[in-house]
A = this chain, B = another copy of it.
Amino acid sequence: MTSVNFKRIQLPNGLEIIGEVNPDARSAAVGFFVRTGARDEQPEIHGVSHFLEHMVFKGSERRSALDVNREFDEIGARYNAFTSEENTVFWGAVLPEYLPRLVDLLADMLRPSLRGDDFDMEKKVILEEIGMYQDQPTWTAYEAVMRQHFGPHPLGNSVLGTSDSVGSLARDQMKAYFDRRYVTSNILVAAAGKVDWPRFCELVTDACSTWPGGADPRDARPANGAGSVHVITQKKIQQEHVLLLAPAPPAESPDRFAADVLTTAVGDGGGSRLFWELVDPGLAETAELDYHEFNGAGTFMTYFGCDPDNLGENLARIRAIYAAVGADNIRPDELDQVKNKAAARIVLRSERPMGRLMPLGFNWIYRREYRTIDDDITTLQSVSRDDIARVLAAYPLDRVTTVAVGPLTDAEFRSKMAGVADS
């Protein structure tokens, strides 16, 4: 078997660098994980994290936007970036010989110029993106259920922001946010695969040792949503899209593996109680339960989409499933089955450096923990029905905030929810 090695150093300015070195790999992946996202934004700058992610690709003092694009192409990199409620991540994967150029490029990008003309042009792109997402009922439902569930807690913030907040954002506000959040204490540099570790550390040191330190810790007070029902009527769409959000273990909890096993058994898209009782009989197009983890909070998110005529039946079946699981737990055969499936997914996702990078980075960011693939599989295999019972007792699946987007009015939705209109 391949032997991998975990490495870690910290630069004098506070920047942490970690690596999972695998001499047998044929590629190397690097990520700059910035511990900042929508939850770290004040109301007047909603959407700035995501907008800033775009601006990072527009160049630095040394590079224009064209240069950035051309250099990724020249080194044959696979690369991308994403922004969430809690993180902004920039990553690339290349052949080992191009690792120095990739590090130079990514590190330089992370000190963006934020040029005024690029800012104005990119603002239009973001506003179009917001418009496009607003046309997607599932996205509308996701943003609404997070807002309803978390209420005033900043985890309810929209990742994209609104047309208003982004439209009125000034370049200097973005610069102030960048200066405050993109400090070394909020950045982790991670590498996976065929990496010459001492050389890699040298490269990062050369590129990043002048980055400012200082702390801007997250407001990470715990959050738990309160149940409510919120209906957004969109007559022009055919299907009713429903999201149910319940509290779940936070990212810091040792129960996150049990939460994962539980949601896979109950709501995995490829075969689960929700699949066999809602999707397979044709009552719903999709019906899934997912577990999402955040600092100090977690969510069990149920999603289903269906013909409005089947709404009452689907809600009744979900309630029955969650009541049965709450009373009797999942069955031993379900537990075994789900462990097999989850183990296969861990391996199939992780077999190359690109696939190792995200678990490597996020385990460190959330828990300062290094875990091999085998660690994850061992922990997974040890999950017991008692562990799941503990999760269910603390976080019942049915304590939900409900949001629906679709053709039904508020009154129609509530009446079907009460089981009146389906008979």
Chain A residues within CB distance 8 Å of chain B:
1-2, 24-27, 66, 69-70, 72-78, 93-95, 98, 268, 270-271, 280, 337, 340-345, 347-348, 350-354, 373
A93 to B352, CA, bound (A): 15
Contacting pair B27 A2 (CB below 8 A): no
Q: Which of B73, B98, B271, B351 contacts A70 (CB 8 A)?
A: B271
Instruction: Give the residue name and chain of the B residue nearest to A268 (CB).
Output: B73
User: What number of copies of this chain does the assembly contain?
Assistant: 2
Contacting pair B76 A340 (CB below 8 A): yes
Q: Which of B26, B73, B280, B348 contacts A27 (CB 8 A)?
A: B348
A417 to chain B, nearest CB (A): 30
Which chain B residues lie closer than 8 Å to A69 at the CB level?
271
A341 to chain B, nearest CB (A): 4
What 4 pairs across the A-B complex have the smallest Cβ distances? A76-B344, A73-B271, A351-B352, A76-B341
Which chain B residues lie closer than 8 Å to A98 at the CB level?
340, 344
Which chain B residues lie closer than 8 Å to A343 at the CB level?
76, 95
A237 to chain B, nearest CB (A): 17
Instruction: Give the residue name and chain of the B residue nearest to A76 (CB).
Output: B344
Q: Which of B78, B280, B344 contacts A77 (CB 8 A)?
A: B344
Contacting pair B270 A351 (CB below 8 A): no
A277 to chain B, nearest CB (A): 13
Contacting pair A1 B27 (CB below 8 A): no
Q: Which of B72, B94, B340, B351 contacts A351 (CB 8 A)?
A: B351
A16 to chain B, nearest CB (A): 27
Contacting pair A270 B73 (CB below 8 A): yes
Contacting pair B347 A95 (CB below 8 A): yes
Q: A70-B271, A280-B66 are in contact. Are A75 and B344 (CB under 8 A)?
A: yes
13 A-B contacts, Cβ less than 8 Å apart? A2-B2, A25-B351, A26-B347, A70-B271, A72-B270, A73-B271, A76-B341, A77-B344, A93-B348, A95-B340, A95-B344, A348-B354, A351-B352
Which chain B residues lie closer than 8 Å to A342 at the CB level?
76
Which chain B residues lie closer than 8 Å to A348 at the CB level?
27, 78, 93, 352, 354
Contacting pair A26 B351 (CB below 8 A): yes
A70 to B279, CA, bound (A): 13
A52 to chain B, nearest CB (A): 23
Which chain B residues lie closer than 8 Å to A73 at the CB level?
268, 270-271, 341
Which chain B residues lie closer than 8 Å to A78 at the CB level?
344, 348
A76 to B337, CA, bound (A): 9
Q: Which of B25, B74, B271, B347 contacts A340 (CB 8 A)?
A: B74
A26 to B374, CA, bound (A): 11
Which chain B residues lie closer than 8 Å to A350 at the CB level?
26
A403 to B99, CA, bound (A): 42
A340 to B73, CA, bound (A): 9
Which chain B residues lie closer than 8 Å to A351 at the CB level?
25-27, 351-354
A117 to chain B, nearest CB (A): 15
